């Protein structure tokens, strides 16, 4: 009896355990299904959201257009540097077959994700114990190119899959293929197959491409920096053979065609730095900086916005500046391992519109814009802004006021005149004319640093607390000043004391022609007209009779030179770091800077700021 009871209890116990296991498996299955469905819905929603929020990037017919001040188109730009679009009808069938055979042989059979291709790639990679084949479809690659980064992560890959599904739902296969071939990167800043064909083979009409050229292009996307024919012709040829073999195996070409195309030897033209130099590039780079601040859009978004941006560019002024900068004879000699550099900004006095920008010699798009980003010590060109301007504005000094010109110590600071000579006393006008240091420092000490710094700020130059010392009188600033800010400050003197923001963007219109932004002229009187007039008279004298003689043009010029010395061991006593001339005419203000990006014992100048003054003259003579 006891034995039977025990067996029944054991049976019941096993039944309970079995039931618990069933319930546990059921619960786990429910949770797993819930997690899977939730994950699917989450990633599907994420993919849809990213796709919908970036749909404008799919618009290949709405580039941003920038124009000069007269409405003439400067350029029509897309998101990616050199990108020239072509429709599928403008592409030969073999070109399409080459990419399909290489990147996605089942492109027309799957719905965005090629599970068979992924399985095949996994098997091949496992067999070779390395990544020899990718499983991403053309649609996935397009999703990654347009919407995602190349970050290798599980989440990114999943989101890529769902964006690919969204693409397939919205576009036909041919639409997707066309977008892919127009957006994919081909190395050397070339986006899209048409731009690549032009760069590597000099061919504009894609129907003129030969089979070996088609295969060479299809070889590149696997590794654009590795397989493009400029950077590695041998690698490109090796990969070309793989592409041709795939095309043959999939029935797109004959064996004879494959063998003949494999054997072609072709060496593309070497990179030509001058070809990468964009006309007006420094100006248009700055236009995008302004437009980003105005619209709140990124450059990438702006490129696809369809906006028209009307700028203040004057092609005649810009071309005059570029012509002067393209002549090496207008510059000091190059250093041991650096090219002597320079920059200039020209703006209109009564509007603040920037008429021309040169960001450097042989400036390339997206480069270091020395006219805007390069803050350098302005030397004596800063004296009108930080010393003589505030002195005149105080009402206590005139151009004929007498200043002290003696070797004087101010605590640990003891400035000296360049020629070592001191006149004892000198007028304000003469001190500016001959750019004498001692009276400038003495006067700054007299008027006070606070009022001088405040005056500079009214001209658009904001200084830091670390700048509050008497070395400011000679242009000794902590961060330096850009040519743009120097030109803007001088334009206040030219404009009778009225300040206008220097700006490149005048107007922005959307696709429909609706104006979404228009620059509002402020015309703010920041200093007295008397101060501006007195300064102009003294700066005209500085050009006619003083250090700025080489800046003279066919019209009157007011301006000031500036030189900063390179005070390091191992260089001549007269080695210089920066050469400046900042000046204006009745209509225009301009700043010219010259120097090395990094001055050192092997890269310095022995010339003085007369070189910069001469450059000013060459440019402004063509502008007036």
| Active-site amino acid positions | 103, 380
Computed on alpha carbons and rounded to an integer, the radius of gyration of the chain in Å comes to: 34
Strands 308-311 and 64-67: parallel
**Phi, psi (rounded to 5 degrees) for 121:** -65, -40
Alpha-carbon distance 230 to 221, whole Å?
14
The full 3-state SS of 13-70, as one line of letters, equals: HHHHHHHHHHHHHHHHHHHHHHHHHHHHHHHHHHHHHHHHHCHHHHCCCCCEEEECCC
Coil, strand or helix at 342: strand
Identify whether the C-beta of residue 591 lies closer than 8 Å to the C-beta of residue 582: yes
Identify whether the C-beta of residue 527 lies closer than 8 Å to the C-beta of residue 456: no
Tokens 């510059």 — which residue?
Answer: 331
186: which DSSP letter?
-
Alpha-carbon distance 182 to 175, whole Å?
11
104 Cβ neighbours under 8 A, 6+ residues apart: 114, 117, 137, 138, 139
């Amino acid at each position: 009896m006891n034995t039977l009871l025990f067996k029944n209890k054991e049976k019941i116990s096993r039944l309970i355990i079995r039931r618990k296991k069933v319930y546990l498996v059921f619960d786990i299955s429910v949770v797993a299904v819930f997690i899977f469905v939730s994950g699917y819905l989450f990633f599907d929603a994420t993919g849809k959201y990213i796709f919908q929020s970036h749909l404008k990037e799919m618009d290949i017919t709405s580039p941003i257009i920038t124009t000069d001040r007269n409405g003439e188109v400067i350029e029509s730009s897309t998101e990616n540097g050199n990108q020239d679009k072509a429709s599928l009808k403008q592409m030969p069938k073999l070109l399409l077959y080459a990419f399909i055979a290489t990147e996605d042989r089942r492109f027309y059979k799957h719905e965005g994700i090629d599970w068979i291709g992924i399985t095949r790639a996994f098997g091949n990679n496992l067999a070779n114990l390395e990544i020899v084949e990718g499983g991403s479809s053309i649609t996935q690659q397009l999703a990654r190119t347009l919407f995602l980064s190349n970050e290798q992560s599980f989440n990114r890959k999943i989101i890529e899959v769902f964006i690919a599904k969204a693409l397939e739902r919205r576009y036909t296969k041919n639409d997707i293929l066309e977008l892919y071939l127009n957006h994919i990167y081909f190395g050397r800043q070339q986006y899209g197959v048409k731009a690549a064909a032009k760069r590597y083979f000099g061919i504009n009409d894609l129907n003129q491409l030969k089979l070996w050229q088609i295969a060479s292009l299809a070889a590149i996307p696997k590794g654009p920096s590795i397989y493009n024919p400029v950077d590695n012709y041998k690698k490109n040829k090796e990969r070309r053979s793989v592409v041709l073999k795939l095309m043959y195996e999939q029935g797109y070409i004959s064996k004879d065609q494959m063998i003949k195309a494999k054997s072609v030897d072709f060496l593309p033209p070497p990179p030509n730095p001058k070809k990468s130099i964009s006309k007006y590039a420094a100006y248009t780079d700055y236009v995008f900086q302004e437009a980003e601040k105005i619209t709140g859009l990124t450059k990438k978004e702006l490129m696809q916005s369809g906006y028209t941006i009307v700028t203040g560019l004057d092609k005649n002024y810009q071309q005059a500046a570029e012509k002067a900068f393209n002549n090496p004879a207008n510059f000091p000699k190059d250093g041991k391992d650096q090219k002597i550099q320079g920059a200039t900004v020209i703006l209109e006095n009564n509007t603040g519109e920037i008429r021309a920008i040169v960001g450097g010699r042989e400036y390339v798009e997206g480069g270091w814009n020395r006219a805007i980003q390069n803050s350098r010590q302005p030397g004596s060109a800063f004296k009108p802004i930080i010393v003589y301007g505030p002195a005149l504005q105080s009402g206590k000094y005139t151009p004929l006021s007498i200043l002290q010109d003696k070797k004087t110590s101010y605590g640990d600071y003891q400035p000296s005149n360049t020629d070592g000579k001191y006149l004892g006393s000198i007028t304000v006008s003469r001190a500016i004319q001959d750019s004498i240091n001692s009276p400038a420092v003495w006067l700054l000490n007299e008027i006070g640093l606070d009022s001088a710094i405040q005056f500079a700020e009214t001209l658009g130059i904001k200084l830091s607390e670390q700048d509050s010392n008497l070395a400011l009188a000679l242009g000794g600033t902590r961060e330096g000043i850009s040519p743009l800010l120097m030109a803007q400050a001088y334009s206040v003197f030219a404009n009778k004391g009225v300040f206008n923001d220097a700006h490149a963007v005048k107007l922005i219109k959307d696709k429909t022609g609706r104006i979404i932004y228009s620059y509002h002229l402020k015309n703010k009187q920041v200093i007295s007209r008397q101060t501006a007039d007195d300064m102009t008279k003294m700066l005209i004298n500085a050009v006619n009779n003083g250090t700025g003689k080489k800046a003279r043009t066919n019209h009157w010029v007011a301006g000031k030179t500036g030189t900063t010395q390179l005070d390091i061991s191992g260089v001549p006593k007269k080695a210089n770091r920066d050469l400046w001339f900042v000046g204006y005419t009745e209509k225009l203000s301009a700043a010219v800077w010259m120097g090395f990006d990094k001055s050192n014992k092997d890269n310095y100048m022995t010339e003085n700021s007369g070189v910069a003054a001469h450059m000013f003259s060459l440019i402004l003579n063509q502008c007036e």
